[in-house]
A and B are shown apart, each in its own frame.
Chain A
Amino acid sequence: MSETTAIRGGAQQKLLAFASLIVLVLGFSLASPNFFQTSNIMAILQAASVNGVLAVGVTLIIITGGIDLSIGTLMTFCAVMTGVVLTWAGMPLILGVVAAIATGALCGLVSGFFVARLKIPPFIATLGMMLILKGLSLIVTGTKPIYFNDTPGFTLIAQGSVIGALIPAFPVPNGVLILFLVAGATAWVLSRTVLGRYTFALGSNEEAVRLSGVNTDGWKMAIYALAGGIVGIGGLLIASRLNSAQPALGLGYELEAIAAVVIGGTSLAGGRGTILGTLIGALIMAVLTNGLRVLSVAPEWQTVVTGAIIIIAVYADQLRHRKSS
């Protein structure tokens, strides 16, 4: 019974979020003829790709009832390690990709170890990691950006368009394609695998899961590592997009990703959430940011409106939950 309401609730939330997205797109299209044009839509999708990937990663952790504040600076650190492997060591492109994902997974595992084994609250453990990784990025690079000019094809990872080569009228950047692939794969893991089941179970009632003989610490570390690996893909995307690993970047990106997750209806209390919701949340954030700019709304007001939308979105979710229970 409770499961059916949970599923129906999830569907409703997604519907609400999706409807908000459509309303925003319609509203902006009516308000400005420049908004709904292929190049601008592609710019919005491109802007959503990095935040979307980070949000997909942190969704897993939030469903377990945890939080990860280190994803922004971890993204940067992964980009930096890709730079080390490709530009400094001159290794082939594929190893740069591996470096980003492996660095992310490893750092995620370390965060998971702090949380699961050392019992440090996730907020604190990942706050510590956030600062450690910010510092490490600056140390490794000597505070200078690493450029990828010597790696042909690197910028194509995010900026090229496989779809555009097939359908010229629809030049979706590869970064967006990667976002959708990552989201699809993660949604599959959540709904079809043991790891996914435990992710939800840990967020609903960790003690019950532990008492039933499950190695909760181990699974939790695995989830943090998986989320870290996804953040590594985010690092790869931003590096490819900027053709450089920018060591000072990343602080504040975790909050944007968390905002996308929450707008998408995932509960910060854990046990409830969907990847599709997160994806829509990331698109809403990107549409809102771009649309307000295209309308030439003063930048001060842009941040006020964005903040208000986050609060309205979460309040609507709360209200619906109170009604359903």
Chain B
Amino acid sequence: MFTRRTLLGAAAAISLLAQTTGAFAQDKLYVPLISKGFQHQFWQAVKAGADKAAGELGVEVTFEGPDNESQVDKQIDMLAAALAKNPAAIGFAALDSQAAIPLLQQAKDAGIPVIAFDSGVDSDIPLATAATDNLAAAALAADKLAELIGGAGKVAVVAHDQTSRTGVDRRDGFLNRMKEQHPDIEVVTVEYGGGDHLKSTEITKAILTANPDIKGIFGTNEGSAIGVLNGVREAGAEVVVVGYDSGKAQTDAIRAGQMAGAITQNPVGIGYETVKAAVAASKGETVEPNIDTGFYWYDATNIDSPEISAVLYE
């Protein structure tokens, strides 16, 4: 008896879900975006941009990504489910390009255009890539930090991870620029906090304990930068902090002068351009292969300028 009731309940629940979500107008173009994540404010800003484009162009957009950037296989499963829905085009931010190639090939064979976003896909299947040049952006962070500490002294990097494209590019962009342009600056260590606030805080305190004479620290994403800020605050140290991306904690710290400044990408633009290119490609129009969505340095002086405030997120 109980069994039958549970089963009926389950069936009812599914059909309910279907009614609320399956209302999917079949005449509208459908474009799923498979991202690298969805919980962070950054991805929510990308989603906001995608939704904006969807509203303007009258298409249906869905947005999803795995819980963290190491889950390559989960992302592949998401791509497979998206393909099953016969979309007009797909937006895809690959965690690992090679791993995704069989499914991208499947999309290509089915005539579904693929637009890469955020960090690009290492393959010729995507018709276009909407992304930030992370190497150049991190190099700008290095220049700004060098300028702020007077061109000499010790600095450290608290990075979000050592395997993803953005993690590697931001770290290398920063390190290479320091080596090439700022020979008097020594990068004493690069540590990885997984973008986790608490872990990055502990790492920062350890760095400060080991190097009391350190002058500056670069946090390579939102979580890392906030962790660096907390660590410096808890240790009571006088250190120049440079961050990446935005979010309320970072923008508040920059306004209050606790953080010198940060690099911001244009996440809303990434989402917007991806959907726009996807829709154009699905209609057979040609699209620009490299869509540079841009990046900016912002600090207390320009944080409220219209150009900057348009790309920051809370």
Contact = CB atoms under 8 A, between A and B. Distances in A.
A52 to B, nearest CB: 13
B17 A31 contact: yes
A26 B101 CA distance: 31
A242 B84 contact: no
Contacts of B96: 145, 242, 244, 246
Given A244-B98, A249-B71, 16 more contacts: A31-B17, A34-B85, A35-B84, A46-B77, A46-B80, A147-B98, A242-B98, A242-B99, A248-B70, A249-B72, A249-B73, A293-B81, A294-B84, A299-B63, A300-B38, A319-B2
Interface of A: 16, 19-20, 23-24, 26-28, 30-32, 34-35, 37, 39-40, 43, 46-47, 50, 138, 143-145, 147, 149, 155, 159, 238, 241-244, 246-252, 289-297, 299-300, 305, 312, 316, 319-320
24 contacts: A19-B3, A27-B14, A27-B15, A27-B18, A30-B18, A31-B14, A32-B85, A39-B83, A39-B106, A43-B83, A47-B80, A144-B163, A145-B163, A155-B102, A159-B102, A246-B99, A249-B72, A251-B70, A252-B71, A294-B84, A296-B24, A299-B38, A299-B63, A319-B2
Contact of B84 (A31, A37, A241, A300): A37
Nearest to B70: A248
Nearest to B194: A248
A34 B84 contact: yes
A295 B17 contact: yes
B73 A50 contact: yes
A35 B18 CA distance: 12
Interface of B: 2-3, 6-7, 10-11, 13-15, 17-18, 21-22, 24, 32, 38, 62-65, 67, 69-73, 76-78, 80-86, 96, 98-99, 101-102, 106, 161-163
A296 B62 contact: yes
Contact of B14 (A24, A39, A241, A293): A24
Given A19-B7, A24-B10, A28-B14, A293 B76 contact: no
Contacts of B15: 27, 30-31
A50 B17 CA distance: 28
A3 to B, nearest CB: 23
B21 to A, nearest CB: 5
Contact of A246 (B65, B70, B82): B70
A149 B14 CA distance: 42
A155 B98 CA distance: 11
Given A144-B163, A295-B21, A319-B2, A242 B72 contact: yes
Given A242-B72, A293-B81, A319-B2, A299 B86 contact: no
Contacts of B62: 296
A26 B11 CA distance: 8
Contacts of A43: 77, 80-81, 83-84
Contacts of A252: 67, 71
A289 B77 contact: yes
B11 A249 contact: no
B150 to A, nearest CB: 33
Contacts, number: 135
Contacts of B2: 316, 319-320
A243 B81 contact: no
Nearest to A26: B11
Nearest to A36: B84
A84 B101 CA distance: 23
A243 B98 contact: yes
A247 B163 contact: yes
Contacts of B98: 147, 149, 242-244
B73 A290 contact: no
Q: Which 3 A-B pairs have the closest CB atoms?
A: A31-B18, A27-B14, A43-B80
Nearest to B66: A299
B163 A32 contact: no
A243 B24 contact: no
B174 to A, nearest CB: 17
A31 B11 CA distance: 10
B77 to A, nearest CB: 5
A53 to B, nearest CB: 13
Contacts of A23: 7, 10-11
Contact of B10 (A27, A149, A289): A27
Nearest to A46: B80
A242 B70 CA distance: 12
A40 B81 contact: yes
A39 B84 CA distance: 7
A213 B65 CA distance: 53
B67 to A, nearest CB: 7
Contacts of B84: 34-35, 37, 39-40, 43, 290, 294
Contact of B76 (A145, A242, A251): A242
A164 to B, nearest CB: 14
Contacts of B24: 296
Nearest to A29: B14
B148 to A, nearest CB: 29
A28 B18 CA distance: 8
B190 to A, nearest CB: 11
A31 B85 contact: no
Contacts of B80: 40, 43, 46-47, 290
Given A34-B86, A251-B70, A316-B6, A290 B14 contact: no
A118 to B, nearest CB: 29
B267 to A, nearest CB: 17
Nearest to B65: A299
Nearest to B6: A316
A26 B14 CA distance: 10
Q: Which of B6, B14, B24, B70 has the most CB of A within 10 A?
A: B14
Nearest to A22: B7
B38 A32 contact: no
Contact of A143 (B17, B73, B106, B162): B162
